[in-house]
């Protein structure tokens, strides 16, 4: 049972790392600001959730699990609002420069 | 199992520094801010893993502090860097190399 | 009782600073008075106690070193605490005329003034390397706040430069402290002195701390920030900056080389420090000779006079220690008097450009007289504190056959005579045209009298040196004459 | 080991990038990232206290201060200086060589310090249980070497007074960025504000036994204050009202009065009578430091209820 739990926790951690990787690849490879933002915030939130869950399983304590949950909720909150603000900023910049909305100026 | 946690920590750190490329390259300040935000959430993940690996519970408190600050400061950064004013019609960041 | 008196020296001004920030209107005068007036009483009592005991130590919070911080009052600190108290009170009296505590600019000025005097006392009492760092920071920050209190653009610029350099100096000092702590396991200066070895670590730490402090002390060639800062600060602030703030950094260099390093301070290093002092004397005096503003002349004179304090290192001995400490005391008084008199000229005549001050002696005789009187002490003419100090320095240098140092002291005196007489010659020249000056009010008379009082104190130091020299002798760490 | 090297190299690269940055904004972001990586480095070295302080003060509040300074600079001077790095000079080589030598000497000296004895640390570990505290850092800061902390709080106070003196009357006109107009902000503030306060008080309370304490808690409160200022919930005022002034001095004042009060009852100066006094002093410090940081950010002597 414990071995199974550990394996599951390790799997969760690995999935989390994978999502982080995906986010970073998106950040580097995607062509314009809005799609980079899209890749980044979504992937990172799932990544953090997965890592929190894995770590909570490993610790095996309710207190720790609740703390990690709080951390994840806070991160979600921050990511949502700041992504929203960054997106508006980016959109406005694009309008200013007369280029098509969302396309990266280069 | 012994290699898993440090391996993941290292992996996330590499990830983080790879994202540095976007800060360096830009081209817009939105891109730079975005990368800094990515670093915030990656740092939290790294701290959680370190807490598990080193058995220091307080590192989870550090993670909580970082995430609270990230929530507040990220909005601050975005608010400040995003705010436009009469003085700056053009965005010089755009001409960054 | 000892602990109470020491606590009074440090904490009463700090509490008063807090109150001066919170209390409304006229009540602030009360806070200022309550913060400054008890200081001489406490110190008088402590001096009596020091005369009996020879050394006063108190473990703050009840924890002895290495765990806690120890306050240690010896003859040298006592003399400097006295200087600090006299400056805080008399120069404070001058400041009271320009910065009434119930007005807005007084509200800006007094909390910083109180914090500065409390921090200075804390620095002089402390025997703990890290605590010294903290007090030094507080002194610097309060001094910089005072520098910009009038918000003159030149003062702001000078303050920013001073701030950045002071931070750099702090960083160096702190690195050195960290190294000392790493090796000795204690931050207490006197405990570390027994353990620290003259190896790579010991020397690196000593050099780092010294360089950091020399920046703060504005010893040539690290003096760049001083003239602008001291020359553009408000009058009372220039006085305290020159009389105390730079001096305590030199005082700490003394503590490091003679108390912490003690026996193993290398002679080459001592000579090097002495040479820096000699260069400071010559360079500062020459610069003072070509300046066009009275306050800048006085500021460069400070650069030069600080150099004499460094001559302690090559001359090394009880008499040299007494001489340089006495120079520190009398220069503090004389320089404060000069800056206050120069500030009075500047406020009432609207300029301190030398060219515009012809015939100032007719219009402001008292202040010109003060400048001349303080000049007597700076020059080292008898009878004045400056004379005693320089005479003793010359004596030691002659006895050791250090002709270089003899030459430097003499040349420094001649150059000081040149730049001071240049000022006085202009001030007393026949005026081209003499616009009427408004009748001087009570405040103006007070400010002139305070400056005169400080100049007289510097002069009086020439008459009664014996008790002070005796007190200083009790603090000398290295034994009799070499 | 690999992680150590990675963190160390990363820090050097980030510091270098923050300094030479092709644009000022890039340098600022690099500085913030530097703070985050430094937090991770402290955490990896097993010092949660330092990690917290670095995250809160180094990356968080300092980052916000630099950012607002950048924004104000851009308002004054619309065009960003092309290359903010100083002009090349022949002295650079000399300085680089000297700096390298200095760093080398410090490094060598530091290596030899590793074998030094740790007298103070040993005595501290022996004495700590007597105080009822579990966190040695709080022990040093509030009990054993509290004179340092008292003077540090006075330094913060002096910083405020000095900044206010430099600002003068124009301070009320110092611009702040307009509040971002998005419907998300109100729910954010409403949720974050109480939660931040709870976490700050928790950190303060936990500080006696675990990592945390007044400095970390005050930085968190300061971050909240910055958010409130930027969203227009709190605005700068030309003068500090009595409540603000009381808040600014309470840290220094309570510390001094507890210390002097000990003399009255015959205990040594600044002795700490019990764990309640630790909490009292830390709470007062938290208020003063947090308030000072927010005021420095707002660039104003005081705060008012609402921004006009």
Interface predicted TM-score of the whole assembly (ipTM), two decimals: 0.89
Q: How confident is the model at residue D303 (pLDDT cuts 50, 70, 90)?
A: confident
Asked whether the beta carbons of A17 and B12 are under 8 A apart, the reply is: yes
Q: Residue C124 has which token pair?
A: 């002089």
Contact D184 A80 (CB under 8 A): yes
The pLDDT of residue C2:
87
Averaged pLDDT for residues C299-325? 92
Output the average pLDDT for chain D: 84
Chain C residues in contact with D113 (beta carbon < 8 A): 179, 182-183, 201
A76 — pLDDT class (breaks 50, 70, 90): confident
C181 to chain D: which residues are within 8 Å by CB?
Answer: 120
Query: Which of C163 and A95 is assigned the larger pLDDT?
Result: C163
Distances in Å between the Cα of C361 and the Cα atoms of C341, C381, C385 are 12, 22, 25
Instruction: With a cut of 90, say whether residue C151 has pLDDT above it.
Output: no
How far apart, in whole angstroms, are the C-alpha atoms of residue D36 and residue D33? Answer: 5
Q: Which of A100-104, B59-63, B65-69, D252-256 has the lowest mean pLDDT?
A: A100-104
| Nearest Cβ partner for B52 among A36, A37, A58 | A58
| Residue C120 scores a pLDDT above 80 | yes
- B62–D68: do the CB atoms touch at under 8 Å? no
Q: Give the CA dihedral C91, C92, C95, C96, nearest 10 degrees.
A: -140
D8-43 burial by CB neighbour count: b if 16+ within 10 A, else e? Answer: eebeeebeebbeebbbbbbbbbbbbbbbbbbbbbbb
Within 13 Å of residue C82, how many CA atoms lie on the same side as its CB? 20
Q: Please tell me which residue of chain A has the smallest CA distance to D192.
A: A74
CA distance B82 to B90: 13
Q: Let me know if residue B1 belongs to a domain.
A: no
Residue D279 has pLDDT above 60, yes or no: yes
Identify the band that residue D79 occupies on the pLDDT scale cut at 50, 70 and 90.
low
Q: Please report whether residue B62 resides in a domain.
A: yes
C near B: at least 3 beta-carbon pairs less than 8 Å apart? no
CA nearest to B84 within chain D: D177
Contacts of A79 in chain B (CB under 8 A): 37, 41
Is A60 at the interface with chain B, CB within 8 A? no
**Domain limits at B33?**
10-82
What's the pLDDT tens digit per position in D96-117? 888 888 888 888 888 877 777 7
**What would the mean pLDDT of D153-159 be, rounded to a whole number?**
94
Amino acid D106: pLDDT: 85
DSSP for residue D235 = E
Most confident of A74-83, B21-30, C216-225, D160-169: C216-225
So what's the pLDDT on residue C298?
A: 93
Q: Is the pLDDT of residue C184 over 90?
A: no
Output the six-digit token pair for D117: 């004895």
pLDDT of residue D132 exceeding 90: no
Tokens found for residue C72: 């240690």
State yes or no: pLDDT of D265 exceeds 90: no
In a domain, B50, yes or no: yes
Contact list in B for residue D85 (CB cut-off 8 A) is none
Structural domain total, chain B: 1
Does the beta-carbon distance from A55 to B48 stay under 8 Å?
yes
Instruction: Kindly state whether residue B90 falls inside one of the protein's structural domains.
Output: no
Q: Which one of B6, B16, B72 has the shortest CB-CB distance to D223?
A: B72
Does the structure show a pLDDT above 70 at D150? yes
- What backbone phi and psi angles, to 5 degrees, belong to C151? 55, 40
Chain D residue whose CA is closest to C187: D120
Mean pLDDT of chain C: 90
Residue A24 tokens read as 């970073």
* DSSP character string of C35-88: HHTHHHHHHHHHHHHHHHHS-EEEEGGG--TTTS-EEEE-HHHHHHHHHHHHHH
Nearest beta carbon to residue B23 from set D26, D55, D192: D26
Q: Is the pLDDT of residue D119 over 60?
A: yes
Residue B57 sits at the vertex; the CA angle it makes with B54 and B62, to the nearest 5 degrees, is 100
Helix H or strand E segment including C265: none
Contact residues, D window 166-195, toward A, CB-based 8 Å cutoff = 180, 182, 184-185, 188, 191-192, 195
Query: Looking at residue A36, what is its pLDDT?
Result: 82
């Amino acid at each position: 049972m414990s071995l199974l739990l550990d394996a599951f926790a390790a799997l969760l951690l690995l999935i989390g790392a994978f999502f982080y990787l995906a986010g970073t690849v998106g950040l580097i490879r995607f062509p314009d600001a809005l799609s980079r933002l899209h890749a980044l915030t979504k992937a990172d939130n799932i990544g953090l959730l997965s890592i929190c869950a894995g770590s909570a399983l490993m610790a095996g304590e309710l207190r720790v699990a609740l703390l990690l949950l709080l951390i994840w909720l806070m991160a979600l909150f921050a990511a949502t609002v700041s992504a929203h603000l960054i997106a508006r900023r980016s959109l406005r910049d694009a309008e200013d420069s007369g280029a098509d909305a969302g396309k990266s100026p280069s | 199992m012994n290699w898993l946690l440090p391996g993941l920590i290292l992996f996330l750190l590499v990830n983080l520094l790879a994202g540095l490329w976007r800060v360096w390259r830009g081209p817009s300040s939105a891109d730079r801010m975005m990368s800094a935000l990515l670093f915030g959430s990656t740092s939290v993940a790294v701290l959680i893993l370190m807490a598990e690996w080193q058995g220091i519970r307080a590192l989870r408190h550090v993670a909580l502090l970082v995430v609270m600050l990230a929530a507040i400061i990220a909005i601050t950064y975005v608010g400040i860097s995003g705010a436009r004013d009469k003085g700056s019609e053009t965005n010089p960041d755009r001409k960054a190399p | 009782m000892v602990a109470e008196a020491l606590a009074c020296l440090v904490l009463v001004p700090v509490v008063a600073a807090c109150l001066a920030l919170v209390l409304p209107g006229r009540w602030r005068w009360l806070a200022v008075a309550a913060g400054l007036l008890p200081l001489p009483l406490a110190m008088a009592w402590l001096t009596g106690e020091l005369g009996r005991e020879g050394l006063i130590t108190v473990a703050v919070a009840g924890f002895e070193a290495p765990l806690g911080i120890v306050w240690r009052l010896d003859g040298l600190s006592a003399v400097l605490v006295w200087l600090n108290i006299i400056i805080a009170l008399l120069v404070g009296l001058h400041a009271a005329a320009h910065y009434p505590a119930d007005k807005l600019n007084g509200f800006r000025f007094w909390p910083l003034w109180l914090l500065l005097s409390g921090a200075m006392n804390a620095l002089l009492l402390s025997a703990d390397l890290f605590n010294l760092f903290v007090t030094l920071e507080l002194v610097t920050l309060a001094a910089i706040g005072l520098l910009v209190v009038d918000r003159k653009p030149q003062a702001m610029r000078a303050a920013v430069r001073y701030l950045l350099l002071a931070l750099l100096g702090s960083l160096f000092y702190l690195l050195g402290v960290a190294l000392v702590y790493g090796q000795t396991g204690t931050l207490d200066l006197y405990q570390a002195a027994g353990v620290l070895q003259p190896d790579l670590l010991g020397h690196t730490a000593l050099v780092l701390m010294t360089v950091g402090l020399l920046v703060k002390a504005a010893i040539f060639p690290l003096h760049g920030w001083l003239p602008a800062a001291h020359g553009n600060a408000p009058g009372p602030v220039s006085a305290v900056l020159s009389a105390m703030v730079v001096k305590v950094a030199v005082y700490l260099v003394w503590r490091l080389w003679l108390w912490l390093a003690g026996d193993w301070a290398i002679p080459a290093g001592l000579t090097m420090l002495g040479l820096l002092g000699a260069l400071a004397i010559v360079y500062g005096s020459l610069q003072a000779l070509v300046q066009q503003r009275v306050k800048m002349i006085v500021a460069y004179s400070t650069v030069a006079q600080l150099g004499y304090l460094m001559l302690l290192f090559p001359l090394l001995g009880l008499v040299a220690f007494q001489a340089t400490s006495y120079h520190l005391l009398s220069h503090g008084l004389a320089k404060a008097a000069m800056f206050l008199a120069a500030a009075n000229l500047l406020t009432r005549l609207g300029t301190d450009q030398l060219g515009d001050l012809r015939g100032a002696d007719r219009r402001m005789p008292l202040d010109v007289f003060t400048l001349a009187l303080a000049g007597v002490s700076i020059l080292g003419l008898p009878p004045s504190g400056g004379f005693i100090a320089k005479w003793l320095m010359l004596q030691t240098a002659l006895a050791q056959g250090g002709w270089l140092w003899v030459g430097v002291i003499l040349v420094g005196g001649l150059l000081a005579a040149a730049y001071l007489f240049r000022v006085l010659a202009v001030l007393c020249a026949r005026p081209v045209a003499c616009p009427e000056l408004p009748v001087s009010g009570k405040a103006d008379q007070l400010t002139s009298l305070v400056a005169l009082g400080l100049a007289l104190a510097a002069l009086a130091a020439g008459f009664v040196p014996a008790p002070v020299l005796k007190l200083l002798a009790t603090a000398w760490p290295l034994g009799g004459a070499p | 080991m690999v992680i150590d090297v990675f963190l160390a190299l990363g820090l050097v690269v980030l510091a270098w990038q923050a300094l030479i940055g092709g644009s000022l904004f890039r340098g600022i972001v690099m500085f913030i990232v530097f703070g985050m990586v430094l937090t991770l480095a402290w955490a990896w070295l097993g010092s949660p206290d330092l990690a917290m302080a670095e995250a809160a003060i180094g990356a968080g509040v300092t980052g916000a201060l630099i950012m607002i300074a950048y924004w104000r600079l851009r308002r004054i001077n619309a065009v960003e200086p092309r290359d903010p790095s100083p002009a090349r000079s022949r002295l650079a080589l000399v300085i680089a060589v000297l700096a390298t030598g200095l760093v080398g000497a410090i490094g060598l000296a530091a290596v030899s310090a590793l074998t030094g004895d740790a007298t103070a640390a040993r005595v501290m570990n022996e004495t700590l249980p007597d105080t009822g505290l579990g966190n040695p850092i709080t022990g040093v800061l509030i009990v054993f070497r509290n004179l340092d902390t008292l003077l540090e709080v006075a330094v913060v106070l002096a910083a405020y007074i000095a900044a206010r003196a430099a600002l003068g009357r124009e301070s009320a006109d110092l611009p702040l960025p307009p509040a971002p107009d998005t419907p998300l902000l109100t729910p954010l503030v409403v949720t974050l504000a109480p939660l931040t306060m709870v976490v700050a008080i928790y950190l303060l309370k936990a500080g006696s036994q675990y990592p945390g304490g007044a400095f970390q808690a005050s930085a968190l409160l300061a971050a909240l204050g910055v958010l409130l200022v930027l969203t227009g919930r709190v605005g700068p005022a030309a003068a500090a009202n009595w409540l603000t002034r009381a808040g600014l001095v309470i840290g220094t004042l309570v510390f001094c009065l507890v210390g002097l009060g000990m003399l009255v009852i015959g205990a040594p100066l600044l002795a700490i009578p019990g764990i309640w006094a630790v909490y009292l002093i830390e709470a007062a410090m938290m208020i003063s430091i947090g308030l000072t940081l927010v005021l420095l950010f707002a660039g104003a002597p005081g705060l008012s209820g609402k921004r006009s």
